[in-house]
Amino acid sequence: MGLLTILKKMKQKEKEVRLLMLGLDNAGKTTILKKFNGEDIDTISPTLGFNIKTLEHRGFKLNVWDVGGQRSLRSYWRNYFESTDGLIWVVDSADRMRIQDCKQELHSLLLEERLAGSTLLVFANKQDLPGSLSSEDIKKMLDLDNIKSHHWRILPCSAVTGEHLLEGIDWTIDDIASRIFTMD
Amino acid sequence: MADLGDDANMSLEERHAFMTERLQQRNDIRKSEIQRKKEDKEAPKREKCEHFHESLNREIEEIERELALSSSRTKEELIDHFDGITVRLQKSQKFLSESTLFLPSYDISRANDSLTKLQNILQEKRSEFLPKKKFAFKSRKGTDDGKDKKSKKVESGDMDLSTVDLADCKIINEVNKKLSMQPEEINQKDVALAELKSCVVKLYGAPSAIHINKLEDCQIFCGPVSGSIFIRECANCVFVLSCQQLRIHTTKFTNFYIHVTSKAIIEDTSEVKFAPYNWSYPLIEEHYKLSGLEKKRNNWSDVDDFNWLAADEHSPNWSILGLKERILMWDV
């Protein structure tokens, strides 16, 4: 039995998945996390530091790390890279002025060795705002088609209405599972 | 038999002493044996080290001497001369790497240093006496230049993309104007304000979100915003805002009259002051209901500074606007 097989078996036993949620400030990371967990989203303050939530979903134990996106916090992101199974990149679809910032941060993140091989889900958040960019626009602006290093998918969503949140998480879990766990 | 007799005659104590002595002797012999073997092993190692240093230093000296002679060679000889030195240097390098097995790491790095130094001197001398043909230089430079230009072009193209197509609900690039937007334009929409100078902007409505970028000497008023307001790169402004989240970045010398139901934050910002929201217009109550903002909850004086994490000391970047400094009545 190889080392990989042993690791796979260990992971399978626990069915534990580590998700790291990143993105620029004001993207809606914490709101997505709280909405997904069925909590109140009206009182969320900008994240100074990080939030961790452990959720049970479809028999998986999801450890979701939501790290603040302020510029002054971004240099700390790398402290959370270790053993990440899935990366959730959240975009404020109405923030047209910073979409280039957003692209740069994402692409520099994907060069990170410790995130190599992790599943990438891009949430084009805030679709409830009428002036928001479509996920198709964001896919182009973030140059997602050029990402060959990760399995990725982009989904339009709204943390306020909850639209497509579940679908996104489900896809992420499926993709990770097909990689790590031997499906039952 | 005598031995046996002696043995038998010895007391228990004597026998014990005899036995300990014998054990001690054996132990001493064993130890000296180990010591001898150890010395045997080390001796060649030491010899090897000395040998290495001697031959390397000799080689280095010779190479240096050769290099010094470069100037006396004719042009035809120079190529062979330098090639010869290069080969010698490579041999020394090989000699060093073969000797790394027994050399202490300090010696390895020192030898490495002196060889690199020689290599550099050789390079210098070679380019001094045998300059590379000009076209080789030029072509390389040319391609680099081309690359630079290309990347710059791409960058400027990107810039256009980000600034040009802002959302529908926006006010951009105005100077010295009084502007306003009505509820039917902005209710539950996202609004962008950018690059304004000396303007007064009044937003009579309840937008979902506002993005504000690069304002100078402006006064901005807004009804209740159900989501977040995001402010960047403003200076000498007055903001009168009501929202769920307020993020202020890279802003200076600005006063905020705010109603925030969560917590305002500042980053890379200084000289900003805060007071409670005090703007009103006829439809504001209705707009509060529309936005879902809780009117009673206002954390205007609770500001997080992301550049000031010390909890026991107040951030020097923001303060509360004194009662006497506050403007109490605004034009509707």
CA–CA–CA angle B233, B297, B182 (5° rounding): 55
Q: Is B214 on the interface with A (CB under 8 A)?
A: no
What are the residues whose beta carbons fall under 8 Å from the beta carbon of A135, sequence distance 6 or more? A93, A124, A127, A154, A155, A156
The CA R_g of chain B, rounded to the nearest whole Å, is: 42
Q: Domain B1-132 is classified in which CATH homologous superfamily?
A: Tubulin Binding Cofactor C, N-terminal domain (1.20.58.1250)
- What is the enclosing helix (H) or strand (E) of A77? none
State the virtual CA torsion across A172, A175, A177, A178 in degrees, nearest 10.
170
Interhelix angle for B134-164 vs A99-110, to 10°?
A: 130
Out of B169, B249, B268, name the one closest to residue A131 (CB): B169
Q: Do B168 and A131 touch (CB under 8 A)?
A: yes
Alpha-carbon span A99 to A126, nearest angstrom: 14
pLDDT value for B132: 61
Per CATH, domain B161-320 is 2.30.130.10: no
Q: Count chain A–chain B contacts defined by CB atoms under 8 A.
A: 94
Comparison of pLDDT for A51 and B104, the residue scoring more: A51
pLDDT value for B298: 96
Report the DSSP pairing between strands A50-57 and A60-67: antiparallel
What are the residues whose beta carbons fall under 8 Å from the beta carbon of A112, sequence distance 6 or more? A78, A81
Q: B5-30 burial, b if ≥16 CB within 10 A, otherwise e?
A: eeeeeeeeeeeeeeeeeeeeeeeeee
pLDDT value for B312: 86
Given pLDDT bands bounded at 50, 70 and 90, which one contains residue B117? confident
pLDDT value for B156: 38
CA atoms within 13 A on the CB side of A140: 7
CA distance B332 to chain A (A): 27
Identify the weakest region by mean pLDDT among A84-93, B102-111, B244-253, B263-272.
Answer: B102-111
CA distance A64 to chain B (A): 23
Name the 3-class secondary structure at A179: helix
pLDDT, chain A, mean = 91
Q: Is A86 annotated as a binding residue?
A: no
| CB interface of B with A, residues 177-196, below 8 Å | 188-192, 194
Please state the domain extents for chain B: 1-132, 161-320
Whether pLDDT at B164 is above 70: no
φ and ψ of B213, to 5 deg: -145, 130
Given pLDDT bands bounded at 50, 70 and 90, which one contains residue B42? low
What are the residues whose beta carbons fall under 8 Å from the beta carbon of B292, sequence distance 6 or more? A42, B226
- Read off the pTM: 0.66
Out of B190, B194, B244, name the one closest to residue A42 (CB): B244
